[in-house]
Amino acid sequence: MPKVLNYSIIGLQDYRVSFESYCSSCDIQKHCKYGKDNPFSIDINCGELNLAKEKIKYEQLQKLQKTADVNTTYEELVKEVKINITGIFSQIWKDKIKALKEEIRCLDSRKVDSMLVSQQGQDWWADFNATIKIINKECEKIG
């Protein structure tokens, strides 16, 4: 079972996810920009999550309206919308974590053995996914 990353509330709708537990002094990490004194962390705003969900909902509704029967109500169309929340989490992962592979050496296959990077990436993703699910539930309570 993956350990859940540390996260904290830093504002009304803002959360910080810290990868501090990953910052250990191993051969890979000693070359990282981040460490025990400066752990890697990202900020997530509930508005980001909600906006991403609304965008997907809007796009799907547009498609459904083109093919739906004229007598179909808006409420019936909304019930057919399926939001892939993991896709949203994956995009956040790609934009806020994977994009920083220069700074996070253990996620850069150009500098570290690709097998190690792959395993590290899977471990980080599993923990991040579990943590962001918790944050998403908290955000749903807020708004």
Per-residue pLDDT at 112: 64
Residue 120 corresponds to which tokens in the numbers above? 């590290």
Length of the chain: 143
pLDDT > 60? residue 117:
yes
Q: Where are the beta strands (DSSP E) in the chain?
A: 6-9, 14-18, 41-45
Q: Containing domain of residue 25, as a range?
A: 6-142
107 assigned to some structural domain: yes
Q: Are 2 and 128 in contact (CB under 8 A)?
A: no
pLDDT in tens, 55-93: 988 888 888 888 888 888 888 888 888 888 998 999 998
119 assigned to some structural domain: yes
Q: How many domains does the chain have?
A: 1
1 assigned to some structural domain: no
pLDDT in tens, 6-46: 888 998 899 999 877 765 555 555 556 665 667 778 899 99
The H or E element spanning position 125 is: helix 114-142
Q: In whole angstroms, what is the distance from residue 129 CA to residue 31 CA? A: 26
123 assigned to some structural domain: yes
